[in-house]
A and B are shown apart, each in its own frame.
Chain A
Amino acid sequence: DTAVSQTPKYLVTQMGNDKSIKCEQNLGHDTMYWYKQDSKKFLKIMFSYNNKELIINETVPNRFSPKSPDKAHLNLHINSLELGDSAVYFCASSQDPRLAKNIQYFGAGTRLSVL
C-alpha cells in the first residue's frame, strides 16, 4: 500500500485553467504538507495543515488554495494557472512536528505543465 499517494502523477493544462491535485496518506499522521520543486529542482514548502488547521502558509499567490477535508487528505487547488506554475508538486505527511519524530514521508509528486 502506498503511504502517501498523489493524483494525478502528470497534469498538462492550458494557461488560465483551474486544476486540483489530490493527496491522501494512510499513515495515521496529523500533519500534511505541500512542497513545490521548480525547474532547477529547488524544493520549497508552500503549506502545511495539522489536523485540518492551516499551520504554514508561505508566500504563495492567492490562486493556490489548499483544502483539508480530514487529516488524511490535503488537496491543492490552483486557479487561473500561469506558465510559472509549471513544476513538480509534492505532498508529504508526518506526525505532529511539535510532539513527535520529525520525519516527513513524501508522495511521488505531480508534474504540472502549463502550456
Chain B
Amino acid sequence: AQTVTQSQPEMSVQEAETVTLSCTYDTSENNYYLFWYKQPPSRQMILVIRQEAYKQQNATENRFSVNFQKAAKSFSLKISDSQLGDTAMYFCAFMKHGSGNTGKLIFGQGTTLQVKP
C-alpha cells in the first residue's frame, strides 16, 4: 500500500521569501505521479504542480518548483517570492500510473502555510 507523509503540520514565511514544504512517500511502484494541491481558506482544492516519476527533470510552474528525489522517495515543494495569496494548506498526493490506474489519489496530512506581511 502507498503512503504519503508530510512531516510539517505548520510553516510560516515572510512575504517575498522562499519556503520549502516536505513530502515523502512509500511505494513499490515504479511508475506514478506526484502532485501538490493547494487549499486556501475558501476550501477550493487547486492543483499547484504535477510530476511524472519517469521524468528526471523537476517540474516548475512559475514561482513553484519541486525537488523530486525518486530513490529517496522525496517530493518537496519550493515556493519562491512568497505572496500573501499563497497562504493555504498544501497537500502532497500520489497516484499510480498505467493501465491499472483507477485515478485514486492518496494524500498526505497537509501542511498549513502562512505567509506573513
Contacts and interface: CB of A to CB of B under 8 A. Distances in A.
B43 A88 contact: yes
A88 B89 CA distance: 15
Interface string B41-72: 01111110010000000000000000000000
On chain A, which size bracket covers the interface?
20 to 34
* Chain A interface helix/strand/loop/mixed: strand
A29 B107 CA distance: 22
A111 B45 CA distance: 14
A42 B104 contact: no
Q: Do most interface residues of chain B lie in helix, strand or loop, or is the interface mixed?
A: loop
A27 interface: no
Contacts of B22: none
Nearest to B91: A43
Interface of B: 33, 37, 39, 42-47, 50, 89, 91, 95, 97-107, 109-110
Interface of A: 31, 33, 35, 40-45, 48, 50, 55-56, 88, 90, 92, 94, 97-98, 102-106, 108-109, 111
